[in-house]
Amino acid sequence: MQEKGTVNLTEEQDIKLMTLEEFLDWYPDGYGKFELHNGVIIKMQPTGTHEEVAGFLALELGIEIKRLNLPFFIPRQGIIKAVDSDKSGYIPDVMVLDLNAMINEPMWKKRSTITQGTSVKLAIEVVSNNWQDYYLMKLGEYEKLGISEYWVIDYLGLGGKRYIGEPKQPTISVYHLVEGEYTVELFRGEDILISPAFPELNLVGSTIFKSGQ
């Protein structure tokens, strides 16, 4: 499971919360994965199986993008700025961006940072033991920003029963924005995912889950 913890750089940072701009200046490129949650740096430490699931999905989506010659791309790493805060930034495990929309992103070229939800065709998070971050915090943030599609890949069945049902089991939640609010459809076992962004994608839930075993 993916572990995470706060990173205390100095005593001064314990008192003064970071802005996203300060975080981007600090970010040690190539040395780990970090997010900024309400001014606090969070170090993300993924396990191997977590990375296998994310890598499998990125590969499958990349193949689909190439097959259909879509104007999309998958960045190695990009930050999504919170819509109503300058102290939060999130890095999805997989993110599909609209290449044509990058011209309207003021922070993209210098900061690889997304500020507009319409630039994101799909955001994917692979659940770890801190499952509340994905079903509560990031779900709300991505909805407010207007990201049209959001997948929560709960390959270990860790999420709360109100999100994945009972008995708990590996579940993929596909959230789709309708009139400014997310609707959700759950996929398990041999269910074939239904994705508005990739309507021809032929992915089975069990295949995704096996990639993390």
pLDDT tens per residue across span 54-84: 999 999 999 999 999 999 999 998 999 999 8
In a domain, 62, yes or no: yes
In-domain check, residue 13 = no
Residue 51 domain flag: yes
Mean pLDDT across the chain, nearest whole number?
Answer: 90
Give how far Cα 138 sits from Cα of 126, 189, 190, Å. 12, 25, 27
Task: Note the pLDDT of residue 30.
Answer: 63
Q: What is the pLDDT of residue 10?
A: 43
Task: Give the span between the Cα atoms of 11 and 138, in whole angstroms.
Answer: 28
- Give a yes or no: residue 178 inside a domain: yes
3-state DSSP helix/strand/coil percent for the chain, to nearest 5?
A: 35, 30, 40
Task: Count how many domains the chain has.
Answer: 1
For residue 183, give its domain range. Answer: 47-210
Q: How far apart are CA 106 and CA 119, in angstroms?
A: 12
Q: What is the CATH number of the domain that holds 175?
A: 3.90.1570.10
pLDDT tens figures, 19-51: 999 999 998 876 678 999 999 999 888 889 999
- Domain assignment present for 26: no
Is 24 inside any structural domain? no
Distance between CA atoms of residues 126 and 108, nearest Å: 24
Question: Amino acid identity of 15?
Answer: I
Looking up tokens 């999309």 gives 72
- Taking only the tens place, the pLDDT of each residue in 155-192 is 999 999 999 999 999 999 999 999 999 999 999 999 99
Asked whether residue 17 is domain-assigned, the answer is no
CB 123 within 8 A of CB 142: yes
Alpha-carbon distances, residue 158 vs 20, 161, 207 (angstroms): 30, 9, 18
